[in-house]
Amino acid sequence: MHLGHSYKQKPPTGAFDAIVIGSGIGGLVSAAVLSRYGKKRVLVLERHYRIGGYTHTFTRPGYEWDVGVHYIGQVGERGALRALFDKLSDGRIRWAPLPDVYDRIELGDRAYDFVSGAGRFIEKLAESFPAEREAITKYVDLVKTTTRKGSMFFMARGLPSIVSAVTSPFMARGFSELASRTTREVLLELTKNEELIAVLTGQYGDYGLPPSRSSFAMHAALVSHYLGGGFYPIGGASVIAEGIAPLIEENGGHLAISAEVESIIIEHGVAVGVKLADGSEQRAPLLISNAGVALTFGKLVPEANRPASWTKALQSVPPSSSYLCLYLGFKATDEELGLTGTNLWLYPDEKHDENVARFEADPEAPFPMVYLSFPSAKDPDFQRRHPGRATVDVITMARWEWFSKWQGTRWHKRGDDYEAFKQRFTDRLLEVVFKRLPQLRGRVDVAELSTPLTTEHFASHPRGELYGLDHTPERYDLPLRAKTPIPGLMLTGADLATCGVAGGALGGLITASAVVGPGPVMGLLKRT
Ligand SMILES: Cc1cc2nc3c(=O)[nH]c(=O)nc-3n(C[C@H](O)[C@H](O)[C@H](O)COP(=O)(O)OP(=O)(O)OC[C@H]3O[C@@H](n4cnc5c(N)ncnc54)[C@H](O)[C@@H]3O)c2cc1C
């Protein structure tokens, strides 16, 4: 198991061609592609004590939970991302399919199943909405074409700006118009059936915004990503980083953990290195930040060097919502507990926008959405590692502001009032779980709630964000590119493309293509 080397105990030595700040999927993919094709020595500096960013897992005696990976699309035998993961990990990352029903959307007591395969997806929904068959078919077509155009839009972010200025309008024709509209606006042109709209947007938690606030481009990308079904990494989410890390090291790279970058060193307007929290410096001709746009330009780049155009543009897009996750452990197998790998999306009713607004205004209001994921049931290897155990993740949205008064306090020492506030959420979430899965009542062995402060502490997202920059229509107008206006400094990860492991990996590919050219990147996506 490769989880990186302690920066203090095994400091990196020698000269590096590039430094990557952060080891999320975006940082790892860009580092791995540069290593493989540019033959570059890449130093990855990770603040956490494990590599992987949101793909990391954590353990408690007898248990292990993923944090930011519940299912990934397009990695089945014929999936568009399968070749990429196979090649970067030399086949070390293996995937298990989720059940045919990968997502079940429940609006109150009404349940709707998303089944794998675009045609079957349409048929299944049309059983519930026979009068809407045509609308559903048009919707799936639109989702697919929007996503196809979107990939051109994003890849242009890796082209030299002069080339992209000329080619982008043609490459992504029609995409920007759809990206600039909300999901609800676009769906209302296809159907007026509110129940159907609520079902079609029943995965909104995967990008963190209800239909009236999200860009249709994000919605389309997400839906399209899972149309072929969901998959889970066999062995747990950490196998993703463990699978990719060797390629970086084989080429002379180094993965350092507990290595917090405090600032980016800029000399004569050029980014030349980083200063770490322990006061040491590392220098390289190329710096790539996977730490997120807000953190990179709000903290790591010294104020005097922040490009005014970017600072202003970034103000138009807020950080995404934060979240609470209740990690549950059971001393019983999934079979004994009657749990399967199908994700459950529990909503009070079909009014997603109103429910989110009500909860944002009052944390005591009913949860607008509760997502139940069953990692142990999804992972065929779980029983080998943790015999006789089962795990469940229970997620809902949360506002950073509810927790910010405890910012600066230490993990596990935040005070009784914080614990009481958390306990109230824990109890309420447990009641939702027990109502839906009554067989779990009385069987919980471990229940641990993460809050936005946990996310700030472990994942370094400054406001505990689920997904970096919010996926509003305005996000698609940002002048984001792999190359920043500061020579020597590039961006990577989900903020460069979209959220999700696939989005973060796409960000990694965009950055890599800006360095080694689009040819090798295209080659990685090809099945050979
Ligand atoms: C609860 C939750 C559930 C999710 N579920 C899914 C899912 O089921 N499927 C899916 O595809 N996606 C899911 N996602 C989204 C997905 O995990 C992320 O969008 C994606 O992994 C982000 O990758 P990234 O490389 O952009 O950034 P990150 O994974 O956030 O990595 C950034 C890294 O940079 C490091 N860093 C930051 N600052 C510094 C610094 N100063 N010095 C050194 N290192 C630093 C951080 O510690 C972190 O490791 C989920 C996310 C969350 C939060």
- Every domain of the chain and the residues it spans: 5-56+79-93+234-316+478-525, 116-229, 318-459
Predicted confidence band at 171 (pLDDT cuts at 50, 70, 90)? Answer: low
Average predicted confidence (pLDDT) for the chain: 95
Instruction: Give the per-residue pLDDT at 20.
Output: 98
Residue 477: CB within 6 Å of ligand 1?
A: no
pLDDT of residue 293: 94
Residue nearest to atom 49 of ligand 1 (CA): 53
Give the distance (Å) from ligand 1 centre to CA of residue 468.
8
25 lines ligand 1 (CB under 6 A): yes
If we measure between CA atoms, which residue out of 264, 161, 277, 309 comes closest to residue 489?
264
> Which of 290, 480, 498 should be mutated for ligand 1, with most atoms under 8 A from CB?
290
Q: Indicate which residue's Cα is closest to atom 50 of ligand 1.
A: 68
Q: What share of the chain is helix, strand, coil (3-state, %, to 5)?
A: 45, 20, 35
Quickly state the pLDDT bin for 295 (edges 50, 70, 90).
Answer: very high
Report the nearest atom of ligand 1 relative to the CA of 27.
Answer: 25
Q: What is the pLDDT of residue 165?
A: 61
Q: How far is the CA of 495 from the centre of ligand 1 (A)?
A: 10
Distances in whole angstroms, Cα of residue 325 to Cα of each of 198, 376, 404, 451: 23, 16, 17, 7
256 against 166, higher pLDDT: 256
Is the CB of residue 500 below 6 angstroms from any atom belonging to ligand 1? yes
Question: Looking at residue 1, what is its pLDDT?
Answer: 55
Q: Residues 6 or more apart from 118 whose CB is under 8 A from it? A: 140, 144, 227, 228
pLDDT in tens, 437-488: 999 999 999 999 999 999 998 888 889 999 999 999 999 999 899 999 999 9
Whether the per-residue pLDDT at 114 is higher than 80: the answer is yes
Span 46-59, average pLDDT: 95
- Is residue 378 over pLDDT 80? yes
**Domain 5-56+79-93+234-316+478-525, CATH:** 3.50.50.60
Report how far residue 34's alpha carbon sits from residue 27's, in angstroms, rounded to the nearest whole number: 11
> Is the CB of residue 24 below 6 angstroms from any atom belonging to ligand 1?
yes
The answer to whether residue 413 scores a pLDDT higher than 90 is no
pLDDT at 43 over 70: yes
Per the listing, tokens 């614990």 go with: 419
Cβ–ligand 1 contact at 290 (below 6 Å): yes
Q: Is 70 in the pocket of ligand 1 (CB under 6 A)?
A: yes
pLDDT single digits (tens) 414-423: 989 999 999 9
CB 475 within 8 A of CB 498: no
Tell how far the Cα of 291 is from the centroid of ligand 1, in angstroms.
9
How many A from CA of 243 to the centre of ligand 1? 17
Confirm if 492 and 468 have CB atoms less than 8 A apart.
Answer: no
Which residue, judged by its Cα, is nearest atom 52 of ligand 1?
Answer: 68
Instruction: State whether the beta carbon of 494 lies less than 6 angstroms from ligand 1.
Output: yes
Model pLDDT, residue 170: 64
What is the per-residue pLDDT for 358?
Answer: 98
Average pLDDT over residues 278-290: 97
Question: Which atom number of ligand 1 is nearest to the Cα of residue 395?
Answer: 1
**Atom 38 of ligand 1, nearest CA residue:** 291
Ligand 1: residue of 320, 370, 460, 463 to mutate (most ligand atoms within 8 A of CB) is: 460
Residue 27 CB–ligand 1 contact under 6 Å: yes
Q: For residue 162, what pLDDT is reported?
A: 63
Top CATH class of 318-459 equals: alpha beta
Question: Are 363 and 399 a contacting pair, CB within 8 Å?
Answer: yes
Instruction: Give the ligand 1 atom nearest the CA of 45.
Output: 43
pLDDT of residue 168: 63
Query: What is the distance in A from the centroid of ligand 1 to the CA of 422?
Result: 23
Atom 8 of ligand 1, residue of closest alpha carbon: 70
